[in-house]
Amino acid sequence: MTEITAPKSPVSAEQFADEIREQLKYGQGVTVEQATPADVYVAASQAVRRHLMDSWMQTQADMVNGTTKAVGYLSAEFLMGKQLRNALLNAGLTEQFDTAVESLGFNYQDVIDAEHEPGLGNGGLGRLAACFIDSLASLGVPAFGYGIQYKYGIFEQAFDKDGKQIEKPDYWLTNEEPWGHIDYNRSQKVSFGGEVVEEGGKKVWKPAWSVRAVPVDYMVPGYASGRVNTLRLWSAKSYDEFDLLTFNRSEYLDAVRPQVAAENISKILYPEDSTPQGKALRLEQQYFFVAASIHDAIRVFYPGQENPDLTTFPSKICFQLNDTHPVIGIPELMRVLIDEYGYDWDTAWGITTKTFNYTCHTLLPEALEVWPASLIGELLPRHLEIIKQINEQFEAELTSKHVDSDTIKDMAIHTGDSVRMAYLATYGGSHVNGVAELHSQLLKDVTLKNFSDVYPDKFTNVTNGVTPRRFIKLANPRLSDLITEGLGTDKWLSDLELLKGLEPLAADDEFVKKFAAVKQANKVDFSNYAKREYGFDIDPDTMVNTMVKRLHEYKRQALKILALIARYADIKNGNMSADEVMPRTVVFGAKAAPGYYLAKMTIQLINNVARVVNNDPDVKGKLSVYFPWNYNVRLAQHLIPATDLDEQISQAGKEASGTGNMKFALNGALTVGTLDGANVEIRERVGAENFFLFGMTVDEVDALYASGYSPAAFYEADPRLKQAIDMVSDGTFSNGDRNAFAPLVADWLTKDWFMTLADFHAYTEIQADIEALYAQPLEWHRKAILNVANSGYFSSDRSMEDYLERIWETGPLA
Ligand code: AZC
């Protein structure tokens, strides 16, 4: 008997249909006959929200009245993905919904498709935040996600006729958005600019302008926990009415200018992945959401109190700083405690350091934000004073610990010209963590070495994870059913280590065949989806080989495309006989930051290689390349379950963790990868024999740099590499235009910062192993099952448990 623990349905399908009908009538004022799928989507979403409402209110009440410390996850990005299916799952209404919607005369897929995905994040960091709040709710831990409700999320990507990326604004709020509840009655005032004056021996900040931060609340329902947490995203509204006098002089634009400026704060998500832009607006955004969130937490936990005892604040809530973006919260809490509530410096510092913790998500030095001190001084003059004082205290502390003066200088938070946010976070919080073991080790050994020497106890690791609800249950229903069948229970959805129980089934040919059939059916589904959405003709009987992630040099999409060109040349040159070629479909997905020239050129190259390869009769049926545009959570949910082979080929020592790697392993793809980020731990767990490892290690990379890396030498030494690069420069992929990719080629041959050329040989060598295994389907799928069975550790539930134990020191609501 299979044990089912999924949330029980609160209503029948007929009742749910009635609720949708009622919502259509009283919410939207349309009859079922008049309704469009988009209307039904809104009505059904509202109906689900109503089902979650009691749990939401109860969770908030228990949080405020109880003694369990809450978590405030401060993040500039939350890449949530579509909401309806997830909410239905957690409310126990999935089947009722499908039946109800059909009974009302609609196709449920049309209704699901009516939801526009909110793209309020760039990539890994934003998606991780979304997985984390899902897991906190599922564990029953009281938590707030705090962020920004950007009007425009990550740009929508398209390709022009030359294969170049074009960015289109993503106005995701065009249509009614039923999930966010705008709560005008709980807004916060956030101020900027002006000056600091002395009044009665006290510092008083006289800001020049303010905006109104209005919370938009999203329910975050837990799976089978009965708990619903809150994601509170702030939206900026102006306090200024437009200026009627100016308006009457017909100066219309001037009349609304202050209003527009204020509301610009939450207008756009910065479309960067790991390189910050020194933009004032970005600092405004950061301060805006962090200041509003801190005041909000005080409002929530000390309701109606004029003189709250904020020495208890760290026992009410702890704030996790998701990368450096919210770090301005440290001086802000100091300011609030000292200037608004009258605490002395030392008391305020004690409260602040107990409240904050910092997660670093990068190893690229340029991604650790550094703000010009002058900019902070202009926008937040009081904060700059506080930062200076923190820095003085810090230097004194280092001196007392006998740190030498050069090192103290290297560690400065405030250097005179600039403020280093990662250093401020490391000093101003209790814990610092990296996001995979290797990453945390490199933070200690390299990036934040001085800090770890002085404060070794602050440093810890929490390896990332992903939510199995969205990325297995919703994305891959066939595999979910097979897992439940294999384990005899569906408890794995809230205890992913149970997947271990599948291990013996890898030896059972019947089970392996079922597993293979699931993968095949998913490939057929994806092929149909790709046809419908993109017009692609993907052959589901070929190996589906996927590389999806942001386009960045360190991730080395260039390595993949060069190897692919080399394979193309091999087939063309007759170096491989037809039966030697394992038919492959390579699928890329990636957005490049709009200002990232080489990344955009790499996209253009991939598209043009795809065009040439897919139209060449010589390789037909053997090699094809597709690049579905606008990679997002929705596409991920379709593509990951259909993938046979996943690429995680960053240069060792550059990818902090990766989370795609986890999603693929959990969905039964094998990985070809380097010893980087969480790949290391995935390989350890699934077994070295079930992972295609290649390439240099961190130490080998360092040694090669130290000896003077010459990419041109690798080019000269490897004829296949040489030919592949020559084909990029000789116009093969640019209709004869030899200049089209010249900057890319020049970069490879003279700089190649991430040593693509040095790893090329190893990468092409490992392909033979991959193909030999793929030629034995049962053996391939056995290994894929072992990947699934041993990846339970990579649940974000486990990540949250690690944070609770190592950093937050709290747990589920009683
Ligand atoms: C990413 C890291 O590049 C990735 O390796 C990691 O898995 C992910 O965070 C989650 O920890 N970093 C970012 O996305 N960084 C920024 C600034 O966007």
DSSP code string of 552-606 = -GGGTHHHHHHHHHHHHHHHHTTSS-GGG---EEEEEE----TT-HHHHHHHHHH
Q: Under DSSP, is residue 160 helix (H, G, I), strand (E, B) or coil?
A: coil
Does 221 share its domain with 112? no
User: How many CB atoms are closer than 10 A to CB 258?
Assistant: 17
Query: Ligand 1 atom 10: the closest Cα is on which residue?
Result: 125
Query: Ligand 1 atom 4: the closest Cα is on which residue?
Result: 658
Per-residue model confidence (pLDDT) at position 277: 60
Which one is catalytic: 116, 361, 638, 720? 361
In single-letter form, the type of residue at position 657 comes to S
Nearest atom (ligand 1) to Cα of 77: 18
Per-residue model confidence (pLDDT) at position 5: 78
690-712: buried (b, 16+ CB within 10 Å) or exposed (e) per residue?
A: bbbbbbbebebbeeeeeeebebe
Question: What residue ranges of the chain have pLDDT lower than 50?
Answer: none
Residue 814 falls inside a structural domain: no
Per-residue DSSP letter, 734: T
pTM over 0.90: yes
Calculate how far, in angstroms, residue 593's C-alpha sits from the geometric centre of ligand 1: 14
List the CATH number of the domain containing 566: 3.40.50.2000
Q: Would you say 242 and 255 are in contact if contact means Cβ atoms under 8 Å apart?
A: yes
Q: Would you say 423 and 432 are in contact if contact means Cβ atoms under 8 Å apart?
A: no
Alpha-carbon distance of 452 to 447, in angstroms, equals 10
Which among 361, 433, 548 is the best mutation to test ligand 1's pocket, defined by most ligand atoms within 8 Å of the CB? Answer: 361
Calculate how far, in angstroms, residue 712's C-alpha sits from the geometric centre of ligand 1: 31
Per the structure block, which two tokens stand in for 380? 């937040």
Residue 716 falls inside a structural domain: yes
Q: How many domains does the chain have?
A: 3
Alpha-carbon distance of 46 to 113, in angstroms, equals 16
Calculate how far, in angstroms, residue 657's C-alpha sits from the geometric centre of ligand 1: 7
Does 645 share its domain with 627? yes
DSSP β-bridge partners for residue 192: 209
Q: Catalytic annotation on 550?
A: yes
Q: Would you say 690 and 787 are in contact if contact means Cβ atoms under 8 Å apart?
A: yes
Q: Catalytic annotation on 549?
A: yes
Which among 132, 320, 362 is the best mutation to test ligand 1's pocket, defined by most ligand atoms within 8 Å of the CB? Answer: 362
Per-residue DSSP letter, 368: S
Query: Ligand 1 atom 14: the closest Cα is on which residue?
Result: 125
Query: Ligand 1 atom 18: the closest Cα is on which residue?
Result: 273
Does 702 share its domain with 712? yes
Which one is catalytic: 663, 685, 720, 782? 663
Per the structure block, which two tokens stand in for 591? 């957005």
Which one is catalytic: 555, 560, 600, 638? 555
Residue 2 falls inside a structural domain: no
Calculate how far, in angstroms, residue 635's C-alpha sits from the geometric centre of ligand 1: 19
* pLDDT tens profile 38-68: 999 999 999 999 999 999 999 999 999 999 9
Nearest atom (ligand 1) to Cα of 323: 17
Per-residue model confidence (pLDDT) at position 416: 95
Q: Catalytic annotation on 572?
A: no
Does 264 share its domain with 140? yes
Q: What is the Cα 288 distance to its own chain's centre?
A: 21
Does 705 share its domain with 786? yes
Calculate how far, in angstroms, residue 285's C-alpha sits from the geometric centre of ligand 1: 19
Residue entry with tokens 């990419």: 711
Nearest atom (ligand 1) to Cα of 435: 11
Which among 79, 443, 657 is the best mutation to test ligand 1's pocket, defined by most ligand atoms within 8 Å of the CB? Answer: 657
Does 579 share its domain with 722? yes
Alpha-carbon distance of 69 to 126, in angstroms, equals 24
Which one is catalytic: 230, 467, 659, 810? 659
Per the structure block, which two tokens stand in for 99? 């039946």
Residue 371 falls inside a structural domain: yes
Per-residue model confidence (pLDDT) at position 255: 72
* pLDDT tens profile 759-783: 999 999 999 999 999 999 999 999 9
Nearest atom (ligand 1) to Cα of 659: 7
Residues lining ligand 1, Cβ inside 6 A:
122-125, 128, 273-274, 323, 361-362, 367, 435, 464, 655-659, 677
Calculate how far, in angstroms, residue 337's C-alpha sits from the geometric centre of ligand 1: 32
Does 496 share its domain with 526? yes
Calculate how far, in angstroms, residue 387's C-alpha sits from the geometric centre of ligand 1: 26
Angle at 622 between CA 618 and CA 625, to 5 degrees: 95
Does 111 share its domain with 122? no
The domain in which residue 58 lies consists of 11-65+84-116
Residue 391 falls inside a structural domain: yes
Per-residue model confidence (pLDDT) at position 151: 96
Residue 813 falls inside a structural domain: no
Find the distance separating the first CA and the last CA of the chain, reported in whole Å.
32
Alpha-carbon distance of 506 to 411, in angstroms, equals 52
Per the structure block, which two tokens stand in for 112? 């699901």
Q: Catalytic annotation on 555?
A: yes
What is the phi/psi pair of residue 130, to 5°? -65, -40
Which one is catalytic: 85, 232, 431, 550? 550
Does 133 share its domain with 171? yes
Calculate how far, in angstroms, residue 556's C-alpha sits from the geometric centre of ligand 1: 15
Answer yes or no: is the ipTM higher than 0.95: yes
Residue 1 falls inside a structural domain: no
Non-local CB neighbours of 570 within 8 Å, separated by 6+ positions: 576, 720
Per-residue model confidence (pLDDT) at position 274: 60
Nearest atom (ligand 1) to Cα of 439: 5
Which one is catalytic: 21, 519, 549, 782? 549
Does 203 share its domain with 343? yes
Calculate how far, in angstroms, residue 231's C-alpha sits from the geometric centre of ligand 1: 20
Alpha-carbon distance of 800 to 227, in angstroms, equals 16
Does 111 share its domain with 142? no
Q: Catalytic annotation on 663?
A: yes
Q: What is the Cα 276 distance to its own chain's centre?
A: 16
Residue 4 falls inside a structural domain: no
Calculate how far, in angstroms, residue 192's C-alpha sits from the geometric centre of ligand 1: 29
Does 73 share its domain with 49? no
Which among 435, 437, 551, 663 is the best mutation to test ligand 1's pocket, defined by most ligand atoms within 8 Å of the CB? Answer: 435
Query: Ligand 1 atom 17: the closest Cα is on which residue?
Result: 274
